[in-house]
Each structure stands twice: as structure tokens, then as C-alpha cells.
Amino acid sequence: MKLSSDSTFHFNLLRWLGAAPYRGVDVAEMLDVADRIAAGDFESWHDEFSALAQQIEAESSMAHSASPITIRDRAFRAASYYRAADFFLHGTPSDPRIASTWASATAQFNQAIAQLTPAGERLTIQADGFTIPAILYRAAADRLSRPTILMFNGFDGSQEEMLHISGFAALERGFNVLTFEGPGQPTVLREQGLGFRHDWEHVVSPVVDRCAGFPEIDAGGLALLGLSFGGYLAPRAAAFEPRIRAVAAIDGLFDGHEAVTGLLNDELRTLFERQEVNAFNAAVRGAMRHDGALRWYIEQGVWSFRVTTPYEFFDRSRAYTLEGVAQRITCPVLVCQAAGEHFNPGQAEKLAVALGDRATVRSFTAAESAAYHSHIGAFVLMNGVVLDWFSQMLNTPDPGQPLGDYSGRHERPIVNGIPR
């Protein structure tokens, strides 16, 4: 089933729809909005998601007798739809909707996490020359020391999205979760004007330092989960941060430059390799007018790397390689790969080869309905694999107390596959 005849819209609609099991969206709303969006029309995408977000927000404001759970779930949905509305706007950085839509998404998300039990806690972590926005979610209110998963998004996603992708699933299993963003990612880019940097250890190490200040975080039980472009950033950080006990790369990415140039046709690749800067930029912009997928990718790259031309984006990507770095990683790494990978084909395999016996490889297939990049639409399956592996690597103990109100059910927590 295709949610849109436009492949990029289909992929991203499935991405948002995939958050439904973890309170990110509601299914019928997503199917209806998908039906209304004009395929390939970035303005239509924004308008329909913005209208849906405002509708959900208005419902919440009018429901004066709503329970905290209802308030929470409506706010999570509104936040998700506001984030969706922002997604295709970045080709015009001066567009005022980029700031206003994000402010609305953040306000709704803050309202939602305040209703969690325990409530999510926003943190600001000082790094060298910038600050790291983070959110700590505790598995229970008892403040017992627990293993904690540090998780972050990739090229185009937020830390808020991570709660609906893997955060709730980890909390249900007794892990604390700390999400965060670094340069190039939504909040740091908007508020501090910083584009991506390849040396992601300068983001992760300050986060690890801050974890030592929380008695409920087991500093000897820290795992790192990187999604999408995070499949490069997480292994890179672990190569220089020995306090990380285990890493999940979803999906593995060995050479970012090879991956992004692989998206170019032969003509564009030849112009780039010859360093014909002006001709390359002109040819790319011409191609973008007829290829919505390329248009979005280039616009997002220029936006998130904080550059001004397509050539600069591709040139900056040269630094994003684990060549000469992967051998420094000492902890176990779960390298996920997607059978239908279309952004970074072959990259997970290269990372696994470079890691050797430190790698555990898990291929997700079309037969499992999990073959898309980052396994969108199959997050329940993916989380079962990834979080069970983390439990094994960290020797997760019994949390010892009932978990917080994260599952929405009254089941016993699962630890290492065993109901407690």
C-alpha cells in the first residue's frame, strides 16, 4: 500500500505513521491527511499537517475536563503534526513558518511530557562552544540506579521524535532514556546556528559527563543509539568515548561522503569530482526542479550543514568517514541494515566488516515488513531486537519496582525477555 504516489512523501508519511504504537500519531488521522496531501507538493504537505496540528491543539484547549492522560496524548499528536508541517520548509531558511511551527511543536511536546509519570525533564548540557538540549526520561520515580540509553536522531529528525521511535519502548523495559541533539539537528541549528560536525564525540562526551550527576543513572551501564545519520555519528563517538558500553547503529553508516555522492547521477558526480563548482551547482539546481526527492535531500543538506550551496554540502561530507576510526571502537556494536536501503546502500555491511568481531549484524527484510531505511513502520519489531540486545550487553538487572506510566497498560515489565 502506498500512502502517496510520490516516493519521498510515501516514505515520510510511513515514518510518521510508524509512531502510532508509541503515542506519536493516530492512524486514521494519518491516513486521512495522506489522502489530502497533493503528491510532491511541499506546500500541500505543510498546509495539511499544520491544519491537523491546529485542530488537535484546539480540541485540547476546549476540553476543560480532560484527564491528564487525554491532555498528554492530544499534545503528543499535535506536536508530531507540527513537526511534520515543518519538514519540507527548509529550502527557504528565511521562511517564518520554520520558527513558528517549531515553537508550536515544542510547546505541545512540553505539555505532553509534563503529564508523564515521572515527568520528562529538559536539560541544557554545556559542551565546548555550544550547548546540548536534552530530555531525561526516568523509568520509575524511585530514583534507583538503572542502565540508561542515550539516543539521538540523524540528518533530519528531532530528539522529540526519538521518544516515539524507541524512547517509550526502552522505558517500558526498565531503561532510563536520555535524548539529545547536537549541531546540525533541529534545536541547536535553530537556536545556535550550528551545522553538523563529524567529530560527534564532542557532543556525546559532555552528555556522558552529565549522566554522572544523576543517582538514578548507572554510569557503568550507558548505551548509545543513533538513528539514520546517527548510524555514523554513534560509532564515531564511541571510538573516542570509552564509557559507552554498547552502541546500536540504526542503520550502520561507514562513509557518509560515499553515501551522499551515491545519490548523484553520473553527470553530476563527474562535475563534482572535477571540482567544477559553478557547473555542479547549476546542474544540481536544475535537477532539483524535476526530482522532488533530490530537491528535499539537497535543501535539507544545505540547511543542516549550515552551508549555502549544494557543492559545499557534498564537499563537507568528506569528513564523515569511519576509515581509520572504526578500529578504535572497543565496545560491542549492533549494526542494523535494511534490505531495501535507499539512502546508504552497502554502508552497514562496510561498517560491520571494519568492526569485525565487535559487530553483531541484524538484517531487517521485506518479509518482516521492515526493509525501509531505519525500519520505519516497523518500530515495534526493531525495538524488540535492539532493546533485547542492549539488555544482553548491559546485563540489565530487574528494575525492582513497578515502572512509570509509560506502557498505557498494566503489564509487568519485561527484562531480558522475562516478565518480572
Residue 405 confidence (pLDDT): 52
Amino acid type, 2: K
CA dist., res. 338 & res. 348, Å (int)? 9
Which of 403, 399, 337 has the alpha carbon at shortest distance from 372?
337
Q: What is the pLDDT of residues 206-261, one digit of tens each?
A: 999 999 999 999 999 999 999 999 999 999 999 999 999 999 999 999 999 999 99
HSE of 188, CA atoms in CB hemisphere, 13 A = 32
Q: What is the pLDDT of residues 333-369, one digit of tens each?
A: 999 999 999 999 999 999 999 999 999 999 999 999 9
Task: Answer whether residue 413 shows pLDDT above 70.
Answer: no
Task: Supply the pTM of this predicted model.
Answer: 0.94
In 15-51, which positions are buried (b, 16+ CB within 10 angstroms) versus exposed (e)? bbbbbbebbbbbeebbeebbeebebbebeebbebbbe
What SS3 class is residue 401?
Answer: coil
Q: What is the pLDDT of residues 308-339, one digit of tens each?
A: 999 999 999 999 999 999 999 999 999 999 99
Virtual torsion, Cα 40, 42, 48, 53, nearest 10 deg? 130
Q: What is the pLDDT of residues 45-75, one digit of tens each?
A: 999 999 999 999 998 777 677 899 999 999 9
Task: Answer whether residue 418 shows pLDDT above 90.
Answer: no
Q: Which domains are seen in the chain, by residue range? A: 1-115 (1.20.1440.110), 118-255+320-420 (3.40.50.1820), 259-318 (no CATH)
